[in-house]
Amino acid sequence: MKSLVRYIVAALVLSGVAFVLGSYQTDVYRKLLLWITLALSYNFLFGICGQVAFSHFAFYGIGAYSVVIFITQLALPLPLAVLATVALCVALALVVAIPATRLAGFYLALATLAFAQLFIVVLNEGGTVTGGTGGLTNYRLPDIFGVAVTGPWYTVAIVLLLLGTFAMLWRLERSWFGRACRAVRDNPDAAVAMGVDARLTKVLAYTITSALAGLAGMVYAFVDNTVNPAIFSQESVFQLLFMVIVGGAGRPAGAIIGATVLYLLPLVLSPIIGHHHALVFGLFMVLVVIFQPRGLIGLWDRFISGRQHRQAQVQLRKAHP
């Protein structure tokens, strides 16, 4: 019951922000929410399951392109287009995961990076289907039950997606499946000895998180009502990885902090120091990795630990004056 109340309060607060922002701030806010959503699902794959995969942003793009193609070129109604897109993301994730999860570490990363690059090639060479290098434009979100979901109300839909993703991954992390993922991450041989099917666990984790990335991509498709290959470039793949690492891998709160800081930092620095913001941005990431290897969430842990220590000392002095 308490969890439900927290989700309702979070939904009201995050949604309420959308009704007081200007057009530019709304655009930034929407994309920040989507980056956080992506970081949460990638954090589960990378931080909880220990899979270094570079295809997460590709599935984000698959979700975005597919729902637009199904609606505009195949004339599917929105519910069927959403279901077809989810099914496509799951099918492609299985095609990638079943052979790729036989690999480990560097080789798994290379295999998923190759898939992500192949996706970009398909977009550029897709002709009228994908729009080529120019992408797809001049479309809009179909009405839902006769109502046009636009303006701040579309931001509310993004908030619900974020909270739904967080809730699902939170439950998964604390279930038997989450324990199996951590066991496979920490020691695959020991996990197998305890009866965990390591390969099936990896396949399921990859498929679930890829489908969640596809869902986020579907929502992104109607933020600017345009999709093009540049949006889903390899640069974005590594930025997502850095968000999870800088925030604190394996911690949902770390993913939220990392996505927020690394998405907003260039926007804040660019007007102040111009093109030099990239240098400061890179230096910041290096310093965090070197001096705070547990991520920015580690600073919060240190603060809480210090406060608890001080409280314990106060209680001890009261007990033994």
Q: pTM of the entire structure?
A: 0.92
Q: Per-residue pLDDT for 160 more than 90?
A: yes
Same domain, 183 and 300: no
Same domain, 305 and 225: no
What is the average pLDDT across 112-122? 92
Q: What is the pLDDT of residues 35-69, one digit of tens each?
A: 999 999 999 999 999 888 899 999 999 999 999 99
Q: Is 225 helix (H, G, I), strand (E, B) or coil?
A: coil
Q: What is the pLDDT of residues 164-202, one digit of tens each?
A: 999 999 999 999 999 999 999 888 888 888 888 888 999
pLDDT of 35? 96
Same domain, 206 and 292: no
Number of folded domains in the chain? 2
Same domain, 240 and 132: no
User: Residue 227: beta bridge partners?
Assistant: 136
pLDDT of 105? 64
Other beta carbons within 10 angstroms of residue 308's beta carbon come to: 10
Q: Is 263 helix (H, G, I), strand (E, B) or coil?
A: helix
Same domain, 214 and 260: no
Same domain, 54 and 153: yes
Same domain, 102 and 158: yes
Q: How far is it, in rounded angstroms, from Cα 176 to Cα 171?
A: 10
Give Cα separations from 132 to 17, 67, 89, 217 (angstroms). Answer: 36, 17, 21, 18
Same domain, 227 and 241: no
The residue out of 199, 215, 232 marking a domain boundary is 232
Q: What is the pLDDT of residues 241-298, one digit of tens each?
A: 889 998 888 899 999 999 999 899 888 877 777 676 677 777 877 787 777 778 888 7
Same domain, 15 and 150: yes
Same domain, 219 and 275: no
The residue out of 195, 216, 232 marking a domain boundary is 232
Q: How far is it, in rounded angstroms, from Cα 248 to Cα 242?
A: 10
Same domain, 46 and 180: yes
pLDDT of 117? 92
Show the domain range for 296: 236-321
Q: Per-residue pLDDT for 207 more than 90?
A: yes
The residue out of 232, 252, 267 marking a domain boundary is 232
- The residue among 248 and 312 whose pLDDT is bigger is 248
- For 91-118, b/e burial (b = at least 16 CB within 10 A) is ebbeebbeebbeeeeeebbebbbebbee
Same domain, 102 and 75: yes
